[in-house]
Amino acid sequence: MEREIIASSFKVSGLQTWLLDESHTSLLQDLHERCADFIHLATGRPPQLNAARDLLQELPPGKSLQDKFVLGFVRVHPGLIGVLDTVRDYPDPGTWYIGLLMFIPQERGKGLGHHVQAASEQWVLWQGGRHLRLIVQAQNVQGLTF
């Protein structure tokens, strides 16, 4: 229940925020397919058939699923428009690591990433965190600008 309470405190104006789990695999996989351009940029290949499952389960060394929060953003159901993957206290206590922040192409360039980033800062502070860490790959020019 703790994870649901933590996730429910994440608020972005105009969006519903869902804590994603295995029951959302098909919605998350669909998001990956709709973001194929970003996935190809980041990985050099199209979205894999198990991308959603992997995102929900992959963890850094020493972390558990209790530390992982995959948040989906929805304007109007049924489709996700974006996802934020975070791990608390990684790589050190007080730091929250953002593994993925991704939006469908139609939502990019509208300032949504900045709103999510601001909400992330408040959310992490509310959880007792002190830092957010995000790594952007050099080929992701838009991400570097963000």
Q: List the one residue out of 146, 143, 18 whose CA is nearest residue 83.
A: 18
Q: List the one residue out of 88, 83, 85 whose CA is nearest residue 62.
A: 88
pLDDT score for 1: 55
Domain that holds residue 141: 2-145
- Count how many Cα atoms sit within 13 Å of the Cα of residue 123 in the half-sphere of its side chain: 26
Residue 47 to residue 49: CA distance in whole angstroms: 7
With beta carbons less than 8 A apart as the criterion, state whether 102 and 122 touch.
Answer: no
Whether the upstream peptide bond of residue 47 has omega within 30° of 0, thus cis, is: no
Q: What is the CATH number of the domain that holds 126?
A: 3.40.630.30
Percent of residues, the chain, with pLDDT higher than 70: 97
Identify the three-state secondary structure at position 3.
helix
CB neighbour list of residue 54: distance below 8 Å, 6 or more residues apart: 48
Say how many domains are in the chain.
Answer: 1
Q: Is the pLDDT of residue 3 over 80?
A: no
Strand 68-74 and strand 95-103: pairing?
A: unpaired
Q: Confidence band (pLDDT; 50, 70, 90) for 11?
A: confident
Residue 63 to residue 100: CA distance in whole angstroms: 17
